């Protein structure tokens, strides 16, 4: 039995091409496609994960700070290395916020800073010191 801080997803090959479907058992399932035709590519998902994690943090922090927010959009741009493993060498997030008054924009900046430096678990998981393990079983 997994503890409350453990997450698990299952990914299944669709049987053709480089297309998969997956998600948590009993939860929402989504497509993953290397070509990005029937689902997001893994690298697009990584950008979405960072942008989503930070966007959630920003909304929560602004709500706690009682800053009115009527819209939040995050554009994530990642530049990949030319050689394998073609990791992201840079990621830029651009925020578009609507609702806060001019006086509240310092709080918006602070919420983004807090997410980046302290709270975004996805961003902090990308640390090169990550303990990463792989195992293989026959089906």
Name the nearest CA neighbour of 26 among 9, 48, 12: 9
Reported as a pLDDT band with limits 50, 70 and 90, residue 4 is: confident
pLDDT at residue 134 tops 70:
no
Report the pLDDT value the prediction gives residue 15, as an integer from 0 to 100.
94
8-state DSSP, 65: T
Report the pLDDT value the prediction gives residue 128, as an integer from 0 to 100.
76
Longest CA–CA span in the chain (Å) reads 59
Q: Rounded to an integer, what distance in angstroms lies between the CA atom of residue 28 and that of residue 16? A: 22
DSSP conformation letters of 91-106: EEEEEEEES--GGGHH
pLDDT at residue 135 tops 80:
no
Backbone φ and ψ for 84, nearest 5 degrees, come out as: -60, 135
The pLDDT tens digits for 51-97 are 999 999 999 999 999 999 999 999 999 999 999 999 999 999 999 99
pLDDT at residue 133 tops 80:
no
CATH code at 41-125: 3.30.300.20
> For the chain, which residues make up each domain, given as ranges?
9-40, 41-125
């Amino acid at each position: 039995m997994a503890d409350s801080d453990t997450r698990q997803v299952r990914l299944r090959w669709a049987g053709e091409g480089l297309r998969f479907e997956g998600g948590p058992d009993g939860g929402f399932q989504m497509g993953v496609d290397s070509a990005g035709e029937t689902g997001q590519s893994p690298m697009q998902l990584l950008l979405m994960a960072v942008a989503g994690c930070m966007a959630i943090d920003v909304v929560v922090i602004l709500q706690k700070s009682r800053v009115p927010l009527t819209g939040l959009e995050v554009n994530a741009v990642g530049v990949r290395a030319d050689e394998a493993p073609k990791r992201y060498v840079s990621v830029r997030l651009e925020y578009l916020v609507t609702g806060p008054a001019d006086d509240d924009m310092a709080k918006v900046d602070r919420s983004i800073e807090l997410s980046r430096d302290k709270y975004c678990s996805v961003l902090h998981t990308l640390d090169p010191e990550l303990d990463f393990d792989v195992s293989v079983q026959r089906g």
